[in-house]
Every structure is written in structure tokens, then in C-alpha cells.
Chains A and B, each alone.
Chain A
């Protein structure tokens, strides 16, 4: 029987519950079935008008009703669904009483257009300025919008509903956010502050302004037709990421606590690493050093060498730059093995779930370990000849997988990686 501490004397952090929602569906079963079948959740946007837009498709979650609709309300509902599934599986605590802290990765919340337009209609003038908006904002009529548009509103709802302890943390490290939420949970357990943590990441932000913001930075694919073919990680003709929605929730626990209560262990968070890139707000350093450093830190944190990793769940956004940089950095660390380790990008099917990506993909990595099957990178028809990854292209692959590295590299230079295994080392 393994010792309950890792080789550095720290509590081993295991996963005892997971929940996921993406454009493929609600829950692990539906998501896994479709993911391994190579199905795409990307569709032409129907939620708002697409006239004049350069990018007209996304991985929206349209089957979860939210009334009245707000992006923050959708993020909250997705987080809630994923959390319910994770808690159910983990069996920890009681309804409304989770014996640990909440770390929530969420998109920055702000007043949204439908509500701003409602204010506009309340003004009753034709030439509108912000003083007019201020004049109609008070008096209590819109107090629900103060609550809805607080940055802490989703965490407040989850903390109340699930009874998490202490001050709930809402965080953002852009595309690395989901991984950061997991890291915060791991660190809290390792320093003995708690035996258990709820790590949630949710993204419900496909609205006109959010889409246009990314579009103006030329970050999004414009290969709108057919939408399912737009997200092409590692392909020669990749042209950007596809914005998507989703949520992932994980119950992290110390190995000691989990085994003491006979909980089913779904996997181990063997290592986490993080390193900041100071080169540019949206581009990575051309020498790849921050990503290389992040990957090395993660291996060191897990007490592993490159030889121990037998699968990489890539950040793989399908931007011209990320995929190239990711290969370059992995090559630098793994040497020749970089061409041999099977690599896949879930974003080919579920799109880029941004704030949720790190957690959603960690869950897909854990399911990979459970089923010993790697989901494909679809749309891999025209491989980029300079990216020599062994991409699991188009069809799922059965493989012996013992340690997965899951990468998340964000805008603003925040890079994070996780190593997930099935068994404690």
C-alpha cells in the first residue's frame, strides 16, 4: 500500500469527484462518449444576431435555460451543474455542507448589453449619455443587477448553495484559469490548511461583445462553414481558436482522508507548475523559455522526468502561434520523445472554454487515464509539417496511459501545467 505522503513529504492530492458540462452535453458520460467518437460541439451561433461578424460560430451551451439570460447567469448555472455532479460522485459532506474551501475560475463579470439597453429604454430620451444612465440606475429598481454583476456573484451563489467554508476565491489567469483553480486547491491541501477543496471553473461568455473583443484581436477562427471543421489544432491551415462555453468541477482531497472514508479515487494531481511570460500581452516569448520553464517546474513538482509522461493533453488552441510554440517548448523539454508521446487537443471538439478549459481538460485527462483511451484531435486533415507531435488524429486511440500532462497557456502570459496520474507514486 502506498504511503499517504509524496516523495517530498507533502500530502498526496487525489480526485474523488468530477463534473463537466460542454457544448457536447451535460455530464461525464455524454461528454466522454461524444469526445471519443470525435463529435464536435461547435455550431453556428443562434443566441444573438451574427450579421456583420467575422466569426459566426462557437461552442455555446444552448441546452441549459437561464432566465433572464445573462452570461454571468449562464456561467453560474454551468458551474452549479458541474459541481452537483462532482459532489454526487465524491459523496463528501452533506447537502449544503462542503467541508472545505471553494476556488472558482470564472470570466470577469460586468454589466451586459441586454441590461444596459434596458437602462437605455428607461431613460426616455433620444440622445443618451452616462449621466442619463446614472439618473435612472438608482432607487432600487435595478438592485438585482448590482448583485448579478458583482465579480464575486457566482462564487457567492456556489458558496451559499454548497456550503463551502471560509472566503470563496474567484480567480482569473485567462486561459490558464481552470488549471489555476486546481493548483490553488492542491496547494491548500499540501500545506495542511484543509483536507478537501472544491475547484470549479466555468465559462458562459459567448455574447456579442466578448466574441467581438477576441475577433478584434484576430484571435478567432473565421472558417465558419462548416462550423464543426473550424477548430484545427496542429493543422497547416489552422487560423485561430473557437470560443466555447462549459464548466468543470473537481473535488480534491488528501489521499489519507479519501482512503479513510473509502472514497473511490479517480486520479491523482501529481504535479502543478506555473510560470509567467513577460514578453507580450497576447503573444508568447519567441524563445519559448516561459513555457519550457513551466513544463519543467511541473515535472519537478511531480518528482518526474520527461520519460514518465506518456500522454500530453495539449493547450492546442489552433492559433497559428500557440500550436507552434507548444511544439517548440515540448520538444525542448522532451527531446526526441516529443515526436513519440501521443498528443491531443480537446479544443478541436469542444472549442476553447477559456476560463473553464484547464479544469474541463483535466477532467478529460482523468477520463483518459480511467478508460485508457485518448480522444482524437479532429479536423486533422492537413497536418502542419513543422509540428512533429504524434497527434492522435481524427480517431480515438487506445493506449497505455499512466501520466498525462495537461497544458494551459493564457493571454497575459500566465502559463500553467498539471500532471495527472491514476495511482499515487
Chain B
């Protein structure tokens, strides 16, 4: 691929040719599909009580991160992501293909890595005991932190590890910004390929939900779901989300590039759009979602919507008002089965959309409130929705390839 692509007349069609998924429900596409068919949910209501989290289901990291040294450099968040990225590359049939990997672009949506909770607590305890000598914080951090922990925490090092472990070495961008980062990673990667600025890209994100440091941040806003797991549509009036653990990655590439190498696509990624409502009233989200829907292109009736709705209020009520305007669509809230994955929320939606289209069926509802209706026909179009708990709204249109 030339480093200086001329602008093409027509935007390139972009296909999803690889998907990698590892979650609280299991690893790989089949395990997750089977769990969704059975309506299984894996939550831990005890270890982080009163908070509800979706714990990581253990995998053999060796299969995607062969060097123990590499595994040790990372904490769970980066291991989960690097693992799922490997699954996506395998799914696309490019794992080990140095020629392609050497020029494959990456846009990763990332939060930050795990804190050393013991060091944090030790410092706070010292303070509580009245030891306030200047420089004590410095001493405790200098002696308590393992020097390479910083690398496990840096947002851009998930991409860095994917490059080191899997050899993905084209351009590399890391987007931060919670849920919107996942939307924009897909949006930018798609736009670049459509315009001929890229041929093939890896997009995605990961999260480790079993983290008290993350729970503290969300507790500041009273966002954490408490006591018992319920479906996303059944959490009013208090609302809340259960942080999840998963890695969700996709390989997307131009149709031309895919055909040339004989890649078999899952679906077409037709469009990704995003916006940033000021959310002064709950209706603002409804208005923004309507606007985004209108930008997706023609959508036939009675299709499917996969949403990463968080269950937090008032944004979930605002989204429900919008979804009620498409009552003929079968809606699926991924937050119920997988928890809230923040940066990986939107990539998860894209993965599930691609899976559903390629398997000729939308996975069943998992909702005692009756809001999610059955869908009997194979979905030809699926709209993926991602509204952030605090800011950011995004949508994608994923379609069967004609």
C-alpha cells in the first residue's frame, strides 16, 4: 500500500473480516454465542459487595501471549486486551502474516491500568496515623511501586503490547474518553479505510471489571449497580451499571484488500457516527440519537438494535424514548449479559452485530421487562448504539454483505 494514497472518487466499502471476543461468559465466539442463547449471566455479587461486577473468565493467556515475560509486564486489563486482539487477528486469518501485520493500522480505545491498591492503602494509612512528614509520599511511592507498573498503566501501552506481542506495526493511535473512545476508534479507522488512507485496521478495547480503583471513580457519581444483578431495562429509578470484564476486537479492511487475499467477511461496517450532546436535559440525548440515526443511511423496518445502554439515569431514559420510536426493532442491551465495558462497550456491540449477521440470527432477548422483543428473521441490518454514562453518543450500521 502506498504511503501517499490519492483520494479515490468513491469511498471504499469496508468489511469486518476478523472478530475476537473474550468475556465473563467465556472465550471465543462460540462460547459467548452459546451463553447468549442460554441467557447465561456471570456476575459476582459477593467479592465486591455491595457492588455487582462481571468477573473475567480465566483463559490460558499462553495461547495468545506466549512469552511469560510479556505477560508479567502487563496487568489484567492489558492481558485481556492483548489476548482478545490475538483472537481477532486469528479470526481474520492474518496472525503471523508479517507482510500484512507490518502495515496494519491500529486504533485502540483505552482507559488506564490497575493501581497498586496495597501501596495506595499503605499511604493513606500512614496519613491517617498522623505521619505527615514532607517527602513521605515520595518515599512510599519510590519504595512501594514496582518500576514497570507504569507501563502496565499507560493508556497507549495496550497498543504497545499488541505491537510487541502480535507484530501489528502500521500506524497506532490510542483514544481515551470512556465510551466515546470506542465509538471514535471505529469511526476514524473506518473513515481512513473508506478514503484510501488505510487498507486494514485492528480496532477494539478491553476492561478488567474486578478493580476497586475503578469502582471508586464510578462511586463518586453513584453509578455502580448495587446488591443484585438486574437487566439494564429494570434498574429504575436509581439506575446503575455493573462493570464488566472483556476484550472485544475487530479487524476491518477494504473490500478490495479482503478479496485480494481471499478473506471471508462477517459483515459490512457501513457507517459509524458520533456526537457530544451537552445533556442539559434528558431529552437532549433523545434528540442526538435521532440525529445520529438519520446519518446512518437507509435503514429498513423491523431490524435489530444492539445497544451498550449503561442502565444509568437519566441517559438510559433518554435512550429508551428514542428506542420507543423504533418499536418494530428488536433491541438487545449488552450491559445485561456482559456488564458495562466503557471503552470496549461499542466494540463489543460491533462484534455481536457481526456475529449475528454472519450466523443468520439475532441472539435472544435477556430482559424480564419485555422491552426486548423476539426477532425471527435473519438480520440484514443491525444498528449498534453507544451512549456514554456521562458524555458521548455513537451509532454504527452493520450490514450483511450483498
Q: Which one of B57-65, B163-171, B368-376 is at the A interface? A: B163-171
Q: In the complex the two chains form, is B171's CB within 8 Å of A275's CB? A: yes
**A193–B190 CA distance with the chains assembled, in angstroms:** 13
Are B221 and A111 interface neighbours, CB within 8 A?
A: no
Q: Min CB distance, B117 to chain A, in Å?
A: 5
Name the one of A143, A208, A217 contacting B137, with C-beta atoms under 8 angstroms.
A208
For the complex, what is the distance from the CA of A138 to the CA of B224, rounded to whole Å?
9
Q: Is the CB of A134 within 8 A of B169?
A: no
Which residues of B in the span 113-143 have a Cβ within 8 Å of any Cβ on A?
115, 117, 120-121, 124-125, 127-129, 133-135, 137-139, 141-142
A10 pairs with B222, CB closer than 8 A: no
Cβ-defined partner of B142 (8 Å) among A133, A159, A216: A216
Name the CB-closest residue of B to A299. Answer: B3
Q: Does B256 contact A (CB under 8 A)?
A: no
Interface centre among A51, A108, A410 (most CB of B within 10 A): A108
For the complex, count residues of B whose C-beta is within 8 A of A.
89
Stretch at the interface among A18-26, A160-168, A345-353: A160-168
Which residues in window 1-34 of B have CB below 8 A to A? 2-7
Cβ distance B128 to chain A, nearest Cβ, rounded Å: 5
Q: How far is the CA of A301 from the CA of B3 in the complex (A)?
A: 6
Q: B176–A133 contact, CB under 8 A?
A: no
Contact of A411 among B129, B133, B154, B275 (CB under 8 A): B154
The answer to whether A212 touches B145 (Cβ under 8 A) is: yes
Q: Are B3 and A49 in contact (CB under 8 A)?
A: no
In B318-348, which residues have CB < 8 Å from any A CB? none
The answer on a CB contact under 8 Å between B171 and A167 is no
In the complex, A413→B169 CA distance in Å? 9
Contact yes or no, B173 A180, CB < 8 A: yes
Q: Are B216 and A152 in contact (CB under 8 A)?
A: no
For the complex, what is the distance from the CA of A214 to the CA of B151, rounded to whole Å?
10
Residue among B172, B184, B274 making CB contact with A173, cutoff 8 Å: B172
Q: B303 on the interface (CB 8 Å rule)?
A: no
Q: For A414, what are the chain B residues with a Cβ–Cβ distance below 8 Å?
A: 156, 159-160, 172
Is the C-beta of B195 less than 8 angstroms from some C-beta in chain A?
yes
* Interface flag for B75 (CB, 8 Å): no
Interface residues of B in 150-195 (CB under 8 A from A): 150-151, 153-157, 159-161, 163-164, 167-178, 180-181, 183-184, 187-188, 191-192, 194-195
Asked whether B239 is an interface residue with its Cβ less than 8 Å from the other chain, the reply is: no
Partner of A160, one of B106, B121, B187, B278: B278
Knowing A139-B222, A215-B142, the reply to whether A8 touches B156 (Cβ < 8 A) is: no
Contact A128 B121 (CB under 8 A): yes
**A385 neighbours in B (Cβ, 8 Å):** none
| Chain B residues with CB below 8 A from A166, complex form | 274-276
Q: Which residue of A lies closest to B130 (CB)?
A: A126
Q: Is B299 located at the chain interface by the 8 A CB criterion? A: no
A53: interface (CB < 8 Å): yes
User: A277 contacts B163, CB within 8 Å?
Assistant: yes
Q: How far is the CA of A363 from the CA of B218 in the complex (A)?
A: 38
Is A278's CB within 8 Å of the partner chain B?
Answer: yes
Which secondary structure characterizes the binding site on chain B? mixed
Q: How large is the interface on A (under 10, 10 to 19, 20 to 34, 35 or more residues)?
A: 35 or more
User: Shortest distance in angstroms between A163's beta carbon and chain B's nearest beta carbon?
Assistant: 10
Q: Bound complex: CA of A410 vs CA of B215, how far in Å?
A: 30
Do B147 and A217 touch (CB < 8 A)? yes
Nearest chain A CB to B345 CB, angstrom units: 14
CB neighbours of B133 from chain A (8 A):
51
**A127 CB within 8 Å of chain B:** yes
Complex CA gap A212/B183 in Å reads: 34
Q: Please determine whether B176 and A413 come into contact, CB atoms closer than 8 angstroms.
A: no
* B177 CB contact (under 8 Å) in A138, A170, A281: A170
Q: Is the CB of B160 within 8 A of A152?
A: no
B401 at the interface (CB under 8 A from A): no
Question: Which of these, A170, A190, A212, A215, contacts B197 with CB under 8 Å?
Answer: A190
C-alpha spacing A216/B142, complex, angstroms:
7
Question: Which segment of B37-45, B349-357, B377-385, B387-395 sits at the interface?
Answer: B387-395
Q: A9-B6, A215-B142, A277-B163 are in contact. List 20 more A-B contacts (CB 8 A).
A: A53-B142, A108-B176, A109-B112, A130-B216, A149-B220, A155-B177, A167-B275, A167-B276, A169-B177, A208-B137, A216-B145, A217-B148, A273-B3, A274-B171, A276-B168, A276-B170, A281-B73, A412-B154, A412-B156, A413-B160
What are 19 contact pairs spanning A and B, CB under 8 A?
A9-B7, A116-B124, A126-B125, A128-B125, A134-B216, A146-B221, A146-B223, A151-B111, A151-B155, A169-B177, A169-B188, A171-B173, A180-B173, A191-B195, A209-B141, A217-B148, A290-B169, A412-B156, A413-B164
